[in-house]
């Protein structure tokens, strides 16, 4: 029984052997940039979701506090302190470092009702830095205060 003959590479095929390597070398930087961009933006959105969750939980905890006896009408220092402490604790648990000076909850008036607002400015450091990303997170959380009147 004869084995089927395997055609030998002709001169034309021999000249194209390196073209795959050249094409791969040309497209590799583009693919790596896209991959690192996906990693950076994935990291950004993950941390943003954690920060939004921490801010929401902190403002909720603060909005349930009662004002101290020494607070003026429409103010609640215990609400602010609780929100700030909860936010710091949650971010620490999530592994997101933040300086205490960057977290400043405030009591604001919204339609004649008191509300607790938290808009932290937390910087973002990308993992790879190959693509442009936002410099900081844009998060603003607000919730009505349950036990405060007079705004």
Full residue range of the structural domain in which residue 100 is found: 16-144
In a domain, 57, yes or no: yes
11 found inside a domain:
no
pLDDT digits (tens, 9 = 90+) for 92-124: 999 998 888 889 999 999 988 899 999 998 999
DSSP notation for 79-121: HHHHHHHHHHHHHHHHT----GGG---EEEEETTEEEEEE---
Q: Where are the beta strands (DSSP E) in 2-146?
A: 106-110, 113-118, 141-144
- Does residue 4 belong to any structural domain of this protein? no
Q: Specify if 1 maps to a domain.
A: no
Q: Evaluate if pTM is beyond 0.85.
A: no
> How many domains are contained in the chain?
1
| Cβ(119)–Cβ(130) below 8 Å | no
pLDDT in tens, 47-105: 999 999 999 999 999 999 988 888 888 889 999 999 999 999 999 999 998 888 889 99
User: What does DSSP say about strands 106-110 and 141-144: parallel, antiparallel, or unpaired?
Assistant: unpaired
The DSSP bridge partners found for residue 107 are: 116
> Can you give the length of the chain in residues?
151
The span from the CA of 30 to the CA of 59, in Å, is 43
Residue 5, domain member (yes or no): no
């Amino acid at each position: 029984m004869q084995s089927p003959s395997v055609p030998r590479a002709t001169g034309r095929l021999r000249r194209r052997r390196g073209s795959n390597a050249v094409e791969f070398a040309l497209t590799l930087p583009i693919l790596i940039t896209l991959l690192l961009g996906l990693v950076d933006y994935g990291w950004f959105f993950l941390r943003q979701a954690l920060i939004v969750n921490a801010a929401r939980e902190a403002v909720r905890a603060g909005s349930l506090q009662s004002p101290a006896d020494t607070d003026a009408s429409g103010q609640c220092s215990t609400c602010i302190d609780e929100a700030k402490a909860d936010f710091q604790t949650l971010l620490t648990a999530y592994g997101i470092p933040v300086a205490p000076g960057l977290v400043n909850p405030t009591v604001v008036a919204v339609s004649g009702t008191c509300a607790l607002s938290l808009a932290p400015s937390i910087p973002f450091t990308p993992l790879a830095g190959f693509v442009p990303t936002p410099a900081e997170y844009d998060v603003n959380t607000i919730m009505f205060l349950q036990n405060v009147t007079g705004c």
